[in-house]
Amino acid sequence: MKMRNLLAASVCVLALGSNAATAETFKWAFQGDVQSLDPHGLNETFTLGYLGNIYEGLTGYDADLQLQPSLAESWENTSPTTWVFKLRQGVKFHDGSDFTADDVIFSWKRSLTEGSDMKGYGAKMADIKKIDDHTVELVTPAPNPILPRELVFLYMMDQGWSEKHGASEATSPKAADSTATYAAQNANGTGPFILTERQPDVRSKFTRFDDYWQDIPTNVTEVEFTPVSQDATRVAALISGELDLVYPIPVQDWARLEEAEGVRPLTGPEARTIFLGMDQWRDELLYSSVKGKNPLKDKRVREAMAHAIDLNAIDEKIMRGAAVPAGMMIAPQINGFDEAMNQPYDYNLEKSKQLLAEAGYPDGFELGMDCPNNRYVNDEKICQAVVGLLARAGIKVDLNAQPKSKYFAKVSPQNGNDTSFYLLGWTPGTIDVHNVLFNLMSSFDTEVNSGQFNYGRYSNPRIDAITQEVEKETDTTKRQALIAEAFKIMRDDVGYLPLHQQPLSWGVREGVTVAQRADNVLDLRSVVISK
Amino acid sequence: MFKFVSMRLLQSIIVMLVVGLIAFGLFRFVGDPVNNMVGQDTTLEEREALTESLGLNDPFVVQYGRFVAKAVQGDFGMSYRLRQPVSDLIAERFPATLELSLVSAFLALLLGVPMGIYTALKPKSLFSRGFMTLSLMGVSLPTFLIGILLILFFGVSLRWLPTFGRGEVVELGWWSSGFFTASGLKSLIMPAITLAIFQMTLIVRLVRAEMLEVLRTDYIKFAHARGLSPRLINFSIALRNTLVPVITIIGLQVGSIIAFAIITESVFQWPGMGLLFIQAVSEVDIPVMAAYLLLIAFVFVVINLIVDILYFVVDPRLRVQS
C-alpha cells in the first residue's frame, strides 16, 4: 500500500513536471459509433446525445432531464399558436461565425429536407419568422404546450458553413455523391467541444471550444472516443485503466467492477420502460394452439397474464435488483408521470389461474413470443423468465429470440405486425408522455401515423381522443387529468404489461465524476476529472 | 501456360459471380436494414419510401444485377451504417487487416516449422510431447477465448499491452501502418498471437506428419547408408521434400487468415475489414457485406491461382506433362 502511494506520488510529480496539469484528456467508449455527424441525419438517442456535445438546440436538458434555456435565452407563448424565442447573443460557431436568427430559420428548413430524419420535429412548426437578428417567432400548426421540449434535439447549424460546403440539405443514407455528405463527416456547431479527427468506427477526437458561451463544470480539454463492440473487451479496457468511462456494462459484470481496483459501476434507473405487448386485433392468433379465436382479445386472459408475471422476481433474478418494476408505460423522469398510476399489477398466481379458467382455458394454451436479444438490457433473459412465469399459470410460451434487425423486421407494421406476444422498450424522445400516448397507446392508423409502435394494435377510442387533446392542452392541470384518465383506461383494459424501467449501466474510473442522464446520454459538459 | 492462366481467370470471374448471387440470396434473411437507419419517430411512410428508394423491395436477383452493374464500374455503393462509400471504407480498413494477417502468418511459420521439425526428429522427447499437447490445445481452444484470456492476463492483470485498438498509426500515402510507433507495435502483439495460434498448430502438425513420412522413404535410408551426416540428411534432403506440400497449404492459409480475422478483430476492436464486416452483418449493411464477400472471394481466387502457378515452378513433372 505504501509502495502504491509512493508510486502515485511520483506519477503526480511526473505529471506536473510534464505540464500535464493544463490538459485533461477524457477517453470513453460506447458499443458502437454514430452513423452520421449530420445533426438532422438520424433521430436516435445515442447519435443525438453524442452530437449534443458539438451541436446545440434552442433549448436543452440538464442532468435531471429538466428543460433549460440553451441557444435561446427565453421564450414566451404569445398566442396559442405563436411563440417568441429570444436568442442568446454572442454565441459563436466553431468556425468563428455568429449564431443568429437566420441560422435558426436555415436549420429548421434543413430539418424538413428530404434526407432528414428530424422531419417530425421540424413539422411541429408551420413557419419561423425573423423579428430581428436575435429574436424569432415560431408559428405552430396547432396549440402545442410542449414545443420548447420538441426543440431540444433540433440542433442549430451555421447557414454560411453549410452553404459553403454544399450541405444545405440533410444527408440521407442513400445519398450517392460524396459532396452531399459533407455534413455527415464534418461538424461545426456551437457546443463545448470541437471535432478534430474522426475515423468512423475507429476513433474520434475532440478538443474544448475556447469561445463556448457558458461556464460548464467540466475541466476536460481533450476527448477521445472509441467504439468497442465486444462487452468483454470494453470492460477489460476500463479495468486496465486505458479508458475513463465505458458503457454499456453487462449487468452481470457489476460485481467485477466493484471488486476491481480503481473503477466502479455507475448505475441508476433509465427513462426507458420495458413492456410486453399482445396481439389484440387479429381474430385468430398467428402463433397459438387456440384456433378460430384470439384468446388475447379476452381481457380476463390479459389480466391473468398480468397477475402471473412476478416483476420482483425478474428484477432480483435477472436485473440484480437494479430495475424499477413499473405499472405505467412511462418512467418517473418523463413529463406527465403520475406516481399514483405506477403501482404494478400484483403477482397472484391463484387469481391468474382462476381468470384463465373463467375465460375458458383451465389448462392454459400455447402462445408464441417474439423477443430481441441485443437491444435492451438482458432482453432475452427477461423473455425467458416470462416464459417460466407464464408456464406456472398454464400458458406455454414458445420463445423466438433473435437479433434486433431480424426482430424488428418481423414485428414491425411494414411486415404486418407478424407477432402474437412481444417485448419492447421505449423512451419518449421528447421526454414527454404525449409521445407514448401517440406511438404506443393510440390505435394504429396510417392516416395520422399514430400507433406505429403499437404492434399488438391495442385500441380504445377514448385514449385516441385523449391523445389528441393532450397534444393541444396548454393548461397543465387539465392536461395531467387527461393523462391520468388515459392511463387508468389502459390499466383497466390491460392493454400492455409494463415490466420495469431498465437500469443504466456505465463503468467509470475512480476520480471521474459525471452526471448520468436518465436518457442514457453522456453529456461531456458534466465530466470532471480530479487530479 | 497463358491458356491455363486465362482459363483460371475466367473461372474466377464465375466463382465471384456465384458468390455474389448466393450472398444476395441470403441477405433477405439477415433482417431489415431500414429500422437501423431511421429513428423511432420516423413515420411508416418515410420508412417505406426509404425501403423503396434503396431498392430493397425488388427481387434479390434484380438487386444483385444492379449491384454487379455498378460494381464493374468500380462503384460499390454507400454504406447504410456509416454513410460513406464502401470502397473508401474497405481501402481504409484493408491495411489494418493485411498487417495483422502477415504478422500472424510470419509468426506461425517462424514458430511452427521448427517445432514441427523438432517433434518429427525427436518424437519421444519431453519437449515434443509438450509441443504436441500445446498444439492440441491451440487447435481446440476457440479464438475468442484465447483472445479474452490474453486480454485478461497481459492487458488487465499485468497491464503490459493495450486491450483494444491499433494504437497510433502512421499514414504512408493511402496506407496506414502501425509498424512505426511503439503503441502500434504493442497493440499488434496480442491480436497477432491470437490469430497465429491456430495456424501455428496446424503447421506444426502438418510439418511433423510430412517429415515423418519423408524420413521413412528409401532415399533417406539410402542417404544414411551412404554415411551422410544426419544434419545434412534432415535439413537438406528431408526438410526440402517436406516443404513442398507445406508451402501449398500455407499459401491457402494466408487467404483464410485474412478472411477469418473476423473473430480476432472483433475481440480486440482491431479496425480491419473483419470488424467492418461483422458490424455490417449486425446492422444489415448490405453494400458493405456484398463488397466484403466479393473481395474475400477474389483473394481466395488469386491465391489459388498463385498456388497453381507455383506447382508448375516447383514440380518439374507437371511441366513435362503439360
B7-36 pLDDT tens trace? 888 888 888 899 999 989 888 888 888 888
Task: Determine the distance in angstroms separating the CA of B39 from the nearest CA of chain A, rounded to an integer.
Answer: 4
Query: A117 in contact with B at a CB cutoff of 8 Å?
Result: yes
Q: Do B31 and A408 touch (CB under 8 A)?
A: yes
As a whole number, the mean pLDDT across chain A is 91
pTM: 0.87
Does residue A393 carry a pLDDT above 50?
Answer: yes
Q: Which residues of chain B have pLDDT under 70?
A: 1, 314-322
Q: Do A239 and B33 touch (CB under 8 A)?
A: no
Strand partners, A333: none
Cβ atoms of residues A322 and A262 within 8 Å? no
Of A181, A240, A429, the CB nearest to B83: A181
Q: What is the pLDDT of residues A72-130, one digit of tens each?
A: 999 999 999 999 999 999 999 999 999 999 999 999 999 999 888 898 899 999 999 99
Q: What is the pLDDT of residues A135-182, one digit of tens each?
A: 999 999 999 999 999 999 999 999 999 999 989 988 876 655 555 678
The three cell numbers of residue B16 are 465471384
Query: A250 in contact with B at a CB cutoff of 8 Å?
Result: no
Q: Do A42 and B48 touch (CB under 8 A)?
A: no
Listed in sequence order, the DSSP H helices in B34-169 are 34-37, 44-53, 60-71, 86-121, 126-140, 143-150
**Of A13-27, A269-283, B46-60, the least confident:** A13-27
pLDDT band at A20 (very low <50, low <70, confident <90, very high): very low
* pLDDT recorded at residue A2: 41
Does residue A354 carry a pLDDT above 90?
Answer: yes
Residue B20 to residue A456: CA distance in whole angstroms: 38
Task: Determine the distance in angstroms separating the CA of B140 from the nearest CA of chain A, rounded to an integer.
Answer: 21
Of B41, B152, B282, the CB nearest to A429: B41
Q: Do B266 and A43 touch (CB under 8 A)?
A: no
Instruction: Indicate the fold that domain B95-273 takes in CATH.
Output: MetI-like fold (1.10.3720)
CA distances, B198 to each of A113, A346, B147 (Å): 52, 55, 12
Tell me which residue has cell 471521474.
Answer: A512
Q: Which residues of A touch B50 (CB under 8 A)?
A: 172-174
Helix (H, G, I), strand (E, B) or coil at A499: strand
Task: Determine the distance in angstroms separating the CA of B55 from the nearest CA of chain A, rounded to an integer.
Answer: 10
Interface test with A, best of B269, B279, B292 (most A CBs within 10 A): B269
Does residue A6 carry a pLDDT above 60?
Answer: no
Residues 259-298 of A with CB under 8 A from B: none
Task: Determine the distance in angstroms separating the CA of B198 from the nearest CA of chain A, rounded to an integer.
Answer: 21
Q: Which residues of B touch A408 (CB under 8 A)?
A: 31-32, 35
Position with higher pLDDT, B56 vs A330: A330
Query: A228 in contact with B at a CB cutoff of 8 Å?
Result: yes
* pLDDT recorded at residue A58: 97
Closest CA to B282 of B30, B86, B82, B38: B30
* pLDDT recorded at residue A361: 96
Q: Which residues of B touch A415 (CB under 8 A)?
A: 32
Tell me which residue has cell 465524476.
Answer: A513
* pLDDT recorded at residue A14: 41
Q: What is the pLDDT of residues A228-239, one digit of tens each?
A: 999 999 999 999
Residue B57 to residue B29: CA distance in whole angstroms: 14
Query: A68 in contact with B at a CB cutoff of 8 Å?
Result: no
Residues 21-60 of A with CB under 8 A from B: 32-33, 35-36, 41-44
Q: How far apart are the first and last CA of chain A?
A: 19
Q: Do A176 and B78 touch (CB under 8 A)?
A: yes
Of B41, B54, B284, the CB nearest to A120: B41
Does residue A242 carry a pLDDT above 50?
Answer: yes
- Mean pLDDT over residues A498-512, rounded? 95
CA distances, A211 to each of A154, A192, A391, A501 (Å): 22, 8, 61, 39
Does residue A432 carry a pLDDT above 50?
Answer: yes
* pLDDT recorded at residue B320: 58
Q: Which residues of A touch B32 (CB under 8 A)?
A: 405-406, 408-409, 412, 414-415
Does residue A17 carry a pLDDT above 80?
Answer: no
Domain ranges in chain B are 95-273
* pLDDT recorded at residue A22: 63
Strand partners, A84: A76, A137
Residue B25 to residue B2: CA distance in whole angstroms: 35
* Percent of chain A at pLDDT exceeding 90: 83
* pLDDT recorded at residue A179: 53
Query: A403 in contact with B at a CB cutoff of 8 Å?
Result: yes
Q: Which residue of B has its CA nearest to A119?
A: B42
* Residue B79: how many other CB atoms lie within 10 Å: 27
* pLDDT recorded at residue B49: 85
* Percent of chain A at pLDDT exceeding 70: 94
- Mean pLDDT over residues A291-307, rounded? 96
Q: Helices B286-314 and B86-121 meet at what angle, rounded to 10?
A: 40
**Of A29-38, A180-189, A320-329, A514-523, the least confident:** A180-189
pLDDT band at A10 (very low <50, low <70, confident <90, very high): very low
As a whole number, the mean pLDDT across chain B is 87
